[in-house]
A and B are shown apart, each in its own frame.
Chain A
């Protein structure tokens, strides 16, 4: 059906209507899209020329286009100070950990939930496991503080009660990669497993039953039916996640670390947090824009590339 429709379109194409007529014929549909189009013009396209700030020595008085042009000086500084490298490394490291560990745990969880036969247990546990996804980043920061802080944190309470020495987690840079990854996993795993769980539910039940009649054990079913059926979903999700590897979860990092705890920055600073700090705390809009532009461009290329790969594998899943 679909293919036929497409073919027809192709044969009609040579008689392209003039633009004026297209507009007249689709007046109402165009008006219906107008609010959204205006929205994205105002809040997404209009700020774009502002990336020019990255090439200037921006000051408030002269504005975006009046400030002195400095070429690539801002980028040079970031490169030479090693800042850009540190931020890129941290951002990619965290995202890779989130993606790899996250997907592994999500798949494991989906398979385990699928093994559960007791319906109410399945429902209740799923409800609980999705819960962390629905709370604000601010609350994640509060929950983490409640557990980890030195004076009153629940973790240190436990350590004290068992006779150990309390630890100053908020001044230990080395431990934060684990804490951040743990928080991310805590928040995302339950919700992320839904996609995989849905794919498992989509498996033809006849195949599963046939396997069971043939005496396949749970492990064999998982190994030979479920895992292979998850492969396409996994690959597509993975590729898109890799496309977004330069984008960090600002809310999570900012609320866990805060803007002032600089001893943690070497291991916890990602592009977003740096961009925000240089802008709001140091009022250095030029440097902030430079890092932002670097991230946008790099990220853009990565998405294009991952989409290109997805298109090769399965055009149906490609974004465009």
Chain B
């Protein structure tokens, strides 16, 4: 506000100062755990075991990272699986979600409400963990298959509703003009609507990608130790939670647990598993903001 004629009152100045102060403090608190993690990953295991983690690396060393990549097949394999799933899942899921979202908002589609509710109902009532687990592992026979992870993250009702709300803002005249030219609905969608949905695709795509990248739950349930290359976050989960697993995951190498810098290795693995998200994040975060402001209340 450029209105310099209005003098800032003392109370306004105080409110501003408090605001700057609190926002700064909260921002620092949000960063602090990450800083602690990174500094821990560069610390010397022996010093850490004596003195504990601190804000700055203790006895700066890259040992933990050299352990992460000591048997590069494991971590790189995990990276490969996660990247492949993220890319394929995002592209396929995005296309299917956009197609459904567009069809479900078409005013001239008589089944739109029935189908919307059919999809939405799955958020109201769920079978629960155990019946789902039995169904997927025993009847779909997907236990130990990457498909159990890949397929279940492909769509969520929330993302379809989000896409539907986005698609509503595309004027109906565009669909009509396509109809006039004799195109069928699928052609209208791919040729006319999809290019206009770019911001929506970015937002929904990012939520999908984040879901795949951060996936650990389905991996834990359905993959367990059945696969060699675990999705990245599940790999991290294993490194963090079980020392025995840690040994196994080092490709069965003949090492004793005492050799391993367990504490710092956990942190280095965490940094490696999270790094790409943190670096990409500042560039993509604005799409998440559009997503939540459009989809939050009505979602």
Contact = CB atoms under 8 A, between A and B. Distances in A.
Interface of A: 5, 17, 22, 26, 28-33, 35-37, 39-40, 42-51, 53, 63-64, 108-109, 111-113, 115-117, 121, 124-125, 127-139, 141-147, 151-154, 156-157, 160, 186, 189-191, 194-195, 198, 209, 212-213, 215, 217-219, 222, 233, 236-237, 250-251, 255, 258, 272, 275-276, 279-280, 285, 288-289, 292-293, 295-297, 300, 303-304, 317, 319-320
A288 B129 contact: yes
Interface in B99-118: 99-100, 102-104, 106-107, 109-111, 115, 117-118
What are the nearest 3 A-B pairs in CB distance?
A292-B128, A50-B131, A157-B52
Interface in B174-221: 184-186, 189, 210, 213-217, 221
A35 B18 contact: no
Interface residues of B, number: 106
Contacts of A209: 1, 3
Given A22-B110, A28-B184, A37-B119, A272 B54 contact: no
Interface of B: 1, 3, 6, 9, 11-12, 15-16, 18-20, 22-24, 26-27, 29-31, 33-34, 36-37, 40, 48-49, 51-55, 96-97, 99-100, 102-104, 106-107, 109-111, 115, 117-120, 122, 124-136, 138-140, 151-152, 154-155, 157, 160, 184-186, 189, 210, 213-217, 221, 233-234, 236-237, 240-241, 263, 266-267, 270, 273-274, 277-278, 281-282, 285, 288-289, 292-293, 296-298
A106 B19 CA distance: 13
A250 B217 contact: yes
Contacts of A5: 107
A50 B185 contact: no
Nearest to A190: B30
Nearest to B298: A317
Contact of A154 (B36, B278, B292): B36
27 contacts: A22-B111, A26-B111, A33-B103, A36-B99, A44-B127, A116-B16, A125-B26, A134-B281, A138-B234, A142-B37, A143-B34, A144-B33, A146-B53, A152-B263, A153-B52, A154-B40, A154-B53, A157-B52, A186-B33, A190-B30, A194-B289, A213-B3, A217-B11, A288-B128, A289-B128, A295-B128, A320-B120
A48 B99 contact: no
Contact of B40 (A33, A146, A190): A146
A139 B274 contact: yes
A261 to B, nearest CB: 11
